[in-house]
Chain A
Amino acid sequence: MKMKTYIARRLGFALFSLLGLSILVFYLARVIPGDPVLMMVPPGTSPDVIEALRQRLGLKEPLHLQYLFWLGDVFRGDLGFSVYTQRSVTNDVLEYLPISLELVVLAALMEIAGSFLLGVLAGTHAYKWPDNLVRIASYIGISVPAFVWAIVFQLIFALQLSLFPTGGLLDSQYMDVIRARRVTGFTSLDSLIAGRFDAFVNFVWHATLPALALCIGGMAQDARIIRAGMVENKEKEYIAMATSQGLPQRLVMFKYLLKPSIIPAVTVMGMDIAAMLGNAFLVEKVFRWPGFSQHAIAAMLRSDLNTIVATVIVIGIIFAIVNIITDIMVAYLDPRIRLMEKGE
């Protein structure tokens, strides 16, 4: 099977899964307790107004019709009306998603760099003190939730040391500039497009602590997986053969040992990074990061049906994309998978 066919097949599966996900979430959002209209309006609101709002949200139709109408609107780019923000859900997604994606990308870069560094360090010094040190650090990293890291970092680096800001996306003087010249919705890109490298730096400065808090758990876990892979593969015959042939240690290390060792970590990393988007809500709350994740949770708590469905679908799409990219990367890294796909 060619790679193009492979990717097309994966995309087909992803679309099918997303359709199933949309049906499931659409239904679940409507059966969980909580009336979005009653939660939105003050108690004395007239029944006529409440009925009109229900009508506007399409809640008077049978469930299957509601879904079909919603699906039709989605194909027209309309994700419905949000009772929580009082505007189009599409607007909300376009506003909040880039803000979270930027955080996730920065966290992903940190996670990749950190896990490789720590994993290789532990793998090359297996059962020695650097390995033990990384092991302890990894256990702490995995066991402490991201929001606790967020609070700890805020207290140490923002309050005690004043090295980083307490929270927010940008300082207000840069916010004005960026909002006036909003092009992509991504603050980092808009800063660069506006030629304001200082705003870009200010953004990265604000994003550093939340990104670090977000990636620490994944980083620690991936470091352990890389280390375990290296320790296991070190004992393989092909490594012994390469070493015995007198190949340089660095070549053996990076070409023959590291490559197969990182394959499991790449798969886990992909899932970790995709999951960050949905899991970032407490970190976003602690650092006042006006992102997609905290918006999604707030909407869920208020039974904002259209937002619940839209946010879950968006997260599902990102999961599917990251999953496909991860599979392709793994296929490139592991020749056995390619051969299997070819039927050889």
Chain B
Amino acid sequence: MNSNINTMIVVLLIIAIITPSAITAYMIGTVNNRLSSIEDALKPPPAPTKLLRVGFAWPTFIDPAVGSDYSSSTAFANLYDPLVFPTTTGEVKPWVAENWTVSEDGLTWTFTLNNTITFHSGRQLKADDVLFSMERLITIGEGYAYLFSPYVNLTTSTAINDYTVQFKLKKTFGPFLITLARLYIVDKEEVLAHIVQGGTYDYPPNGDLARGWLLTHDAGSGPYKTREVVLEDHVYMDRFDNYWEEMKPNSPDEIRMLALAVPTTERTMLLKKELEISSQWLPEEVLAAVSKAGLVAGDYPGGDMFYFMMHCRKPPLDDVHVRRALAYAMDYEAVVDEIYLDNPLAQCVVPISLGGATELTMYRRDLTAAMEELQQSKYWPDIGDNPENYEIEVDWCAEVPAEEGVALLFAESAQEIGLKVKVVKTPWGKMIVDMADQDLSPHVETVFVAAHYAEAGALLETRYHSKAAATWEQNEWLLNETLDAMIEDALSTCDMTERYQKYAELEQIILDLCPSLFLFDHLVKHSYQPYVIWPSVLGESIPVMGYNIDGRMIEVIPPE
């Protein structure tokens, strides 16, 4: 028996050694004339001359009817053309639509299209494609569909001719034009050609509206076209030679969006010049370290704000005086001096880059005022004598470690006026579930919230309108009908000046209600190579998420 086993082991060993050796020998034999290429395989590849490699956090969905986050929006900006293009001032300029008119009642918008635009497929972009893009987006209902589905009437909107499209609205929506920077035009024929069965849509029945295909391909007309998409790893795009609009002379020939999650990996890649622009998630210490090594640190306003959302229906935060006491007690300066370095303190209820009201008096640290407010609350003096009975729970997002510092600072500040705060690390998944339920929601949630389009009203609606109360963009549970009506009125105002006046009034009311701590306008920070010219970090940023890493604007001039 023993000898049999030994024989078997020997045979197995021989097989284990001979098989790979034979394969290797065979392969070496067949590729003998390519030894030099094997040598090449052990060297870093020569980089294309104008290559832009950018770090991102996955997921990146390149289908404009599916994605809506930072990296997806960046991919859209490069692969697709929007109907109108956002500007650095937050307005829009003609793009696919050369000009437009709006009816007096604000319900009919007619767009005349540029007739020189071709898709990556070679087909010309026409009104039918614009209408189809809107139909597909609203039908799927994901991505940026929520900007249009409450307003656009699909049954009455039409393509009047090849280059004129008309959108009819169900109700007036002042910022409609601004939101059209999120309508990315897809090639209708290309999409229809790639619909497969097994979906849940009626166009055609049980079709998937090419969702499967558009996961890894594009159907756009943008300055770049997809070469390869590997989910969770990268999106490679090549420059589209027949792009209709002029590009900068040194625009990248190729853009690679790389999914990076580990700061040390990004640091290594930056130092080895394997990454032109870092992700926006690098810790301050890594940013500082790579800056010392010759990389450039740059930032631009992200259009988002860091809020401490206070549950206005949960004692003791149901008393406005307690909320104001906390707002006065908070050490705002320490947040931006010690944790989120150099981010500008909030100047209004929404980020200033969205056109927030500038004449507001924001809450700043004032312990005397904080004590005065606390003493006016219905819980005084018991809240001062027995703070353990009024413990305030602050949940911070476990995936964003820096938030813990701010939460602890809040606890420390509250303690100075005699209040007790419990700081709880909470996974993002749980935060979303908690915030969907008024009873489960904790006293305070710490969340960054970005505007869906470049206007103050966008954030006022998502942050304080009751219809968004159960989403992760609110934990306040204000449920204030007067405020809701005022927000709706402002959003339905077509005149921009008047609309912004209404936004300013709303901001003052919200500030008085003090449902949130308005901490700072978030700066998106990147590190990038000195051979990259990036207008967004040089004061020419666009206040719409995704439009700041745009191959049209960025130049790459690698050192000789």
Contacts and interface: CB of A to CB of B under 8 A. Distances in A.
Interface stretch (A80-88, A124-132, A235-243): A80-88
A39 B471 CA distance: 10
Nearest to A84: B59
A42 B44 contact: no
B27 A166 contact: no
Contacts of B45: 171-173
A159 B44 CA distance: 12
A298 to B, nearest CB: 7
A285 B261 contact: yes
Contacts of A95: 231
Nearest to B254: A172
A41 interface: yes
Contacts of B41: 171, 174, 198-199, 201-202, 205
Interface in A38-79: 38-39, 41-46, 48-49, 52, 56
A290 B68 contact: no
Contacts of B28: 197
Contact of B142 (A45, A176, A196, A282): A45
B290 to A, nearest CB: 12
Interface string B6-48: 0011000000000000010001101100100110111011000
Given A38-B436, A198-B31, A45 B272 contact: no
Interface string B53-80: 0000011010000101000000000000
B31 A197 contact: yes
A159 B232 contact: no
Contacts of B517: none
Given A34-B427, A195-B27, A298-B58, A286 B264 contact: yes
A239 to B, nearest CB: 17
Contacts of A158: 268, 272
A174 B211 CA distance: 28
Interface stretch (B143-151, B488-496, B548-556): B143-151
A104 B268 CA distance: 24
Contacts of B427: 33-34, 301
B38 A85 contact: no
Contacts of A175: 228
In this complex, the interface size class of chain A, counting residues with CB under 8 Å from chain B, is 35 or more
B264 A151 contact: yes
Contacts of A192: 23, 27
Given A86-B215, A171-B45, A179-B228, A56 B462 contact: no
A198 B38 contact: yes
Contacts of A173: 45
Contacts of A86: 61, 66, 211, 215
Contact of B462 (A39, A43, A52, A290): A43
- From A44, A85, A205, name the one whose CB has the most chain B CB atoms within 10 angstroms: A44
B473 interface: yes
A341 interface: no
B232 A42 contact: no
Contacts of A39: 428-429, 432
B146 A87 contact: no
B265 interface: yes
A116 interface: no
Contacts, number: 164
A208 to B, nearest CB: 11
Interface in A187-211: 192, 195-202, 205
Contact of B232 (A166, A196, A294): A294
Contacts of A84: 59
Contacts of A294: 232
B233 interface: yes
Given A39-B432, A167-B265, A294-B232, A288 B146 contact: no
Contact of A44 (B37, B146, B211): B146
A208 B174 CA distance: 58
B433 interface: yes
A302 interface: yes
A35 B429 contact: yes
A205 B269 contact: no
Contact of A159 (B200, B231, B268): B268
Nearest to A342: B1
B183 interface: no
A92 B231 CA distance: 9
A171 B44 contact: yes
A287 interface: yes
A34 B30 contact: no
A332 B265 contact: no
B324 interface: no
A154 interface: yes
A254 B268 CA distance: 45
A166 B1 contact: no
B275 to A, nearest CB: 9
A23 interface: no
A149 B325 CA distance: 49
Interface string B380-402: 00000000000000000001000
B21 to A, nearest CB: 13
A303 interface: yes
Contacts of A92: 231
A335 B429 contact: no
Given A44-B462, A166-B269, A52 B232 contact: no
A155 B272 CA distance: 11
A227 interface: no
A335 B2 contact: yes
Contacts of A174: 41
Nearest to A164: B42
A224 interface: no
A288 B143 contact: no
Nearest to B31: A197
A213 to B, nearest CB: 13
B260 interface: yes
Interface string B193-214: 0000000100000000001100
A217 interface: no
Contacts of A288: 233, 258-260, 265
Given A39-B429, A165-B44, A202-B41, A195 B30 contact: yes
Contacts of B434: 33
A151 B265 CA distance: 8
Interface centre among A92, A179, A197, by most chain B C-beta atoms within 10 angstroms, is A197
Contacts of B228: 175-176, 179
A67 B493 CA distance: 51
Given A43-B468, A290-B233, A295-B232, A49 B142 contact: yes
A232 to B, nearest CB: 22
Contacts of A33: 427, 429-430, 433-434
B429 A302 contact: yes
A195 B200 contact: no
Interface in A134-182: 151, 154-155, 158-159, 162, 165-167, 171-176, 179
B472 A43 contact: yes
B429 A301 contact: yes
Contact of A34 (B141, B144, B268, B430): B430
Contact of B264 (A34, A154, A199, A335): A154
Most buried by A among B9, B68, B142, B272: B142
Given A35-B429, A159-B268, 11 more contacts: A32-B429, A33-B434, A42-B142, A44-B452, A49-B141, A52-B200, A85-B232, A195-B31, A200-B27, A286-B264, A338-B1
Interface of A: 32-35, 38-39, 41-46, 48-49, 52, 56, 84-87, 92, 95-96, 151, 154-155, 158-159, 162, 165-167, 171-176, 179, 192, 195-202, 205, 282, 285-288, 290, 294-295, 298, 301-303, 332, 335, 338
5 contacts: A38-B472, A95-B231, A154-B265, A172-B236, A338-B1
Closest 8 interchain pairs by CB?
A: A34-B429, A44-B146, A49-B141, A33-B430, A43-B471, A202-B41, A290-B233, A198-B37
